[in-house]
Structure 1
Amino acid sequence: MANHTQNNKMNSFGLTLTALCCVVLVLGGLPFSSDAQLDASFYRNTCPDVHSIVREVIRNVSKTDPRMLASLVRLHFHDCFVQGCDASVLLNKTDTVVTEQEAFPNINSLRGLDVINRIKTAVENACPNTVSCADILALSAQISSILAQGPNWKVPLGRRDGLTANQSLANTNLPAPFNTLDELKAAFAKQGLTPTDLVALSGAHTFGRSHCSLFVDRLYNFSNTGKPDPSLNTTYLQELRKTCPKGGSGTNLANFDPTTPDRFDKNYYSNLQVKKGLLQSDQELFSTSGADTITIVNKFSADKNAFFDSFETAMIKMGNIGVLTGNKGEIRKHCNFVNKDRIRMASRDSSESAMVSSI
């Protein structure tokens, strides 16, 4: 998709911080919730096998679709960026819900909704009406990271599911792949997330894939100049042009990390150092003159443990944004519908079935 207008860019918001990623990440007006009553052992007595149940489903899926691991990390990001980590991104369109799945950053972009539903079914069979979809998203991100040889952290649990979605916030609050560093930092700062959090969470782009539509302007018409992005490595530019031809559909996939595309490691940062960041928003972290993020990129490139530690801290911090606990929200029986809508639809379907059988 060459020669994009700004409107076209808006239609390609979906970032794979990548997942997500784009990775990454804001919540409109919902600050980090430092007093959320979450606990890694929340389900110790009520659903002690929840972690192993989630892991088994994801492990089986990843055998045939290794890309799914990055997609599930990104799905957690896209949930927490809008209304907090309340599983609002999972809600389908109904008479009362305007789904976030049809927001520009998510449409034809989100992956893993079916996997979350498979996990929810398995969890419900073991522990009915106990584990929230929001917690399943948080656990899925952690387990996906581990399966990709990445960081491991204790996931604070006890979230409840929200009762609505917010498509307009998804449209305005999720960062775009062409955001500048100042725009990314401002979005993070609103949520109490630091530049170190920004660089660490962006590191989720060390695995997974992105559609060409999210970065093709950099290859042919950067900032409407008719030329490629000068911050792109010229050899890498030619490789990407083969994957994403000028005037193509934009649906081809490119690896975020051309070296180890399915492994969660620190190569994302060494790629930035040699101008091989896939998205503009990736390369901005290192190529913005005088930026304080350059030092952080260099640190993470040199020290995997420093990156992993910062990623774990940032994921826990992000996972606490705007959470619902206690008597707020609900435990959804089906992740795609609030319980009220699910009961209403089941009643309607039963009524329609009875009508058919009586004819």
Structure 2
Amino acid sequence: MVTTNHLMIMFLSLIFLLHTASVALSDLRPAFYSKTCPEAEFIVRDVMKKVLIREPRSVASVMRFQFHDCFVNGCDASMLLDDTPTMLGEKLALSNINSLRSFEVIDEVKEALEKACPGIVSCADIIIMASRDAVALTGGPNWNVRLGRLDSLTANQEDSNNIMPSPRANASALINLFQNYNLSVKDLVALSGSHSIGKARCFSIMFRLYNQSGTGKPDPAIDPDYRKELNKLCPIDVDQNVTGNLDATPLVFDNQYFKDLVGGRGFLNSDQTLFSFHQTREFVELYSRDQYEFFDAFVEGMLKMGDLQSGRPGEVRKNCRLVNVRPAFASSDS
């Protein structure tokens, strides 16, 4: 016998599924929330402004979430999910553990959005908006983001391990990775400019300083004076969680990163290799001379990367760390 309770649960489940399907089939577009949550982008930026004042490094950390999210099965906030008894999340993946930080910033943004318009703005879109704002608030370009993503129902630590590049990666490997996502050499170099702000750990450069390519010697591409600075920052017995600036102006989004690469002062091997490799060098040189060219190319690359989607089912999470509780049918008549 179908009871009123059964009918209500079935109705709610149908509404949930229709909502999920309608969002999943829609195209990403600017002003996606103009009617359902018109203040969404203002709310995100307001929180990011407060975070910038509170801890500037957090802004840089949040900006890189877009990279670590979108490259692993599309831009779906899978990287924000905590582990569960039946799922290993991506936070402890090799490229993320002890590296990704400031997840609490996304929690703060989500809480503010849930107060204004509950159940409307996806965590995946929050990452996209917050990444844009991190750039704009630190002196970089501003742009209209395309929105309308769904949040994934699961995460995949193995995929994250297999996809995300190591700080040891060379330009050839990076080019191949980006090409897998229809991102060009130009996109690769411009998007690497995300390292214009923020810091990285000594762990990521110890091999460059003391055993490049197994030689027992430092990377010859490092400027000698800069190497002395790095040796002082990261001696052989250092706590490898000590951090260093990714470029000479770590609080300002500008083209100093590329100037540093030209001068042999790139912090990470995966950065300096962009100047060493012939296919990427011309773009490094161009962006070191022309900040506007860099900004334009960076925006283009961020938009292209933001369009990566897996096509898998999704939802709008209420808590970015957890999937929503699913509607369930009653197990017996009553």
Settle same-fold status: TM greater than 0.5.
Answer: yes
Alignment partners' CA distance in 1, 2:320 and 2:257: 33
Aligned partner (choices 84, 102, 112) of residue 92 of structure 2: 102
The answer on 1:83 being equivalent to 2:68 is no
Which residue of structure 2 aligns with residue 282 of structure 1? 271
Q: Report how many residues are paired.
A: 304
The answer on 1:316 being equivalent to 2:303 is yes
Aligned partner (choices 205, 209, 229) of residue 219 of structure 1: 209
Aligned partner (choices 108, 112, 121) of residue 111 of structure 2: 121
Which residue of structure 2 aligns with residue 167 of structure 1? 157
Displacement of 1:292 in angstroms is 1.9
Which residue of structure 1 aligns with residue 245 of structure 2? 255
Which residue of structure 2 aligns with residue 338 of structure 1? 323
In structure 2, what residue type is equivalent to 1:111?
R
Alignment partners' CA distance in 1, 2:153 and 2:185: 32
In structure 2, what residue type is equivalent to 1:331?
V
Alignment partners' CA distance in 1, 2:303 and 2:153: 23
Displacement of 1:98 in angstroms is 1.4
SS in 1 for 2:183: coil
TM-score (norm 1): 0.82
Which residue of structure 2 aligns with residue 46 of structure 1? 36
Alignment partners' CA distance in 2, 1:337 and 1:96: 13
The answer on 1:198 being equivalent to 2:185 is no
Which residue of structure 2 aligns with residue 292 of structure 1? 279
SS in 2 for 1:254: strand
SS in 1 for 2:178: helix
Alignment partners' CA distance in 1, 2:62 and 2:76: 15
Give aligned-pair identity as a percent. Answer: 45
Please identify the structure whose Cα radius of gyration is greater: 2
Which residue of structure 1 aligns with residue 262 of structure 2? 273
Displacement of 1:293 in angstroms is 1.1
Kindly report structure 1 stretches of 4+ aligned residues shifted beyond 2 Å: none
CA contact (8 A) 2:26 2:148 kept: no
Aligned partner (choices 294, 314, 321) of residue 329 of structure 1: 314
> Structure 1 pair 93/264, CA: closer, same or farther in 2 (3 Å)?
same
Displacement of 1:323 in angstroms is 5.3
Which residue of structure 2 aligns with residue 22 of structure 1? none
Alignment partners' CA distance in 1, 2:166 and 2:114: 36
Alignment partners' CA distance in 2, 1:340 and 1:96: 15
What do residues 32-77 of structure 1 show as CA deviations (whole Å, max 9, x unaligned)?
xxx9711111100110101111111111111121111110111111
CA contact (8 A) 2:197 2:251 kept: yes
Alignment partners' CA distance in 1, 2:222 and 2:133: 33
Alignment partners' CA distance in 1, 2:239 and 2:286: 38
The answer on 1:73 being equivalent to 2:63 is yes
Aligned partner (choices 202, 205, 224) of residue 234 of structure 1: 224
Which residue of structure 1 aligns with residue 7 of structure 2? none
Structure 2, unaligned runs of 5 or more: 1-24, 329-334
Root mean square deviation of aligned Cα: 1.6
